[in-house]
Amino acid sequence: MNTTPKPTEAVEPVDQRLPLGTMLLYGLQHVLVMAAAPITAAFLIGHTLDLADDVTVGLMSAIFLACGLAGILQSVGAFGFGARLPFVQVPGGAPLVIFLAIAQATDLQTATGAVILTGLFYFLALPFFTRLLKYFPPIVIGTMLLLVAINLIRIFGGLITGRPGSPEFASMGSIALALVTIACTVLFARCFSGIWQRIAVMLGLLAGATVAVLGGAMSFDNVLAGPMIAFPQPFPFGMPKFDLFASLPLLIFCVVSMTEATGQTLATAEIVGRRGDHKAIVPHNIRADALGSLFGGCFGTSLIITSGENIGIIRATGVRSRYVTIAAGAMLVLLALIAPLGRLAHAVPTAVVAGTAVIVFAIIGVMGINILRKVDFDQNGNMFTLAAALAMGILPIVVPGFYSAFPEHLQIVLGNGLAMGTLTAVLVNILFHHLGTSRRPRNGGAAPPLEASKGD
């Protein structure tokens, strides 16, 4: 009897188990591409909220742990959680801005509670998600990404200069380190190709750190001080407080995050050649994002979501096996538990990390501009949607305290430029394209092209 398997029974590329050495090598590439995100996220939270160094190191470990476990869940897939695709997870830039705004307007316990509420809200919103898509067209997504870039560049620019009035404010050394880091990142992106080009950001950070070591601005004295193994502490800021109104900006972002996850799932499934209905696995991706965010919230971080870098790495390497990202997730868990690695990352000067973050978030702004290029601004509705969103979003960013005379609960939403700009874009777009008219302009009210909505 012929036992040769039929072509349909062959193992799909996404399910192929590679040799251990190859799997670890490609897994390391994934880690290098996304490692800058957890490092910059921990630095941003720690410096913005004046956390102690040991708390910031613990937070960095928690972010690595959450990203690693969530990535493994996405790649393995179990009980409807995880798309069984080669995904890695990162702390998204937009939710990080919102998390910090909530923490500054209230406290860290309320910001932690907002993350946990949003993680739960994913599950509640998922059945109605497709009905909400029409309210988040490209003009809303593009505006949001542009505001993310403006907000985070302002924040990280402040980390480079330091506090106004302090003796170290705008020191030439700090600014030079940041500029060298940015310049090296751009040069690596220009001179390299393939996977080396994909990790230009990480190489730029390493180059900046090398310059800092040579210039005496970085020390390794405390790297080996303390325990070798450390498990991140749950609820490092105390038990969470749950304030639905304070959580509103993150709850709004939840729909945007699901839109991004949809585009990334469909695009990745197509690239790896997965058989079957790709749309059917989108809810599995979103549930894993929700669970990863819940876990991250319990350890003091913001939302942990699917990274758009997955698509770029797969295209650059041609490696489609999900076992590669399982290996990457395991490496991230090891990074989280080996304490000296966290202390080493924390030893990198703030100017180097902030310089890396500035170029990364500027790229996010470029992605937003690219999406907005596809919008027809000859339509009055589109022009006023963007104008109103930028006005309401940029004002509290460039004029801190703009709403300081308003009630505190209103300041949480009004003073958050990202949340206010996105909410304004949604409402003005509804006003022009969904109310009182049966004729919709070409790009005003259509659901966003799924792949175009990637960007955080």
Tell me how far CA of residue 123 lies from CA of 94, 127, 269, in angstroms: 20, 8, 22
Residue pLDDT tens, the chain, 456 long: 444 444 445 778 888 888 888 888 888 878 877 777 888 888 889 888 888 888 888 899 999 999 999 999 999 988 889 989 988 888 877 788 889 989 988 899 999 999 999 999 999 989 888 777 778 788 888 888 888 888 888 888 888 888 887 788 888 989 999 999 999 999 998 998 877 887 788 888 899 999 999 988 888 887 887 788 888 889 999 999 999 988 988 998 888 888 878 877 887 888 888 888 778 888 999 999 999 999 999 999 999 988 766 666 676 667 788 999 999 999 999 989 988 888 888 788 888 988 888 888 888 788 889 889 989 999 999 999 999 999 999 998 888 888 888 887 788 778 888 888 888 998 999 999 888 654 444 444 444 444 433 334
Cα–Cα distance measured from residue 292 to residue 309, given in angstroms and rounded to the nearest whole number: 18
Radius of gyration of the chain (CA): 22
The token pair at 149 is 């870039």
Supply the pLDDT for residue 339.
85
Q: Is the dihedral of CA 374, 379, 383, 389 positive or negative?
A: negative
| H-helix or E-strand spanning residue 91 | strand 89-91
Core vs surface per residue 23-59: b (16+ CB within 10 A) or e: beebbebbbbbbbbbbbbbbbbbbbbbebeeebbbbb
Tell me how far CA of residue 414 lies from CA of 141, 277, 396, 402, 421, in angstroms: 19, 41, 8, 9, 9
Cα–Cα distance measured from residue 159 to residue 354, given in angstroms and rounded to the nearest whole number: 7
Supply the pLDDT for residue 308.
66
Supply the pLDDT for residue 437.
58
Cα–Cα distance measured from residue 132 to residue 129, given in angstroms and rounded to the nearest whole number: 5
Cα–Cα distance measured from residue 123 to residue 48, given in angstroms and rounded to the nearest whole number: 31
Cβ(58)–Cβ(312) below 8 Å: no
Cα–Cα distance measured from residue 204 to residue 180, given in angstroms and rounded to the nearest whole number: 9
The length of the chain is 456
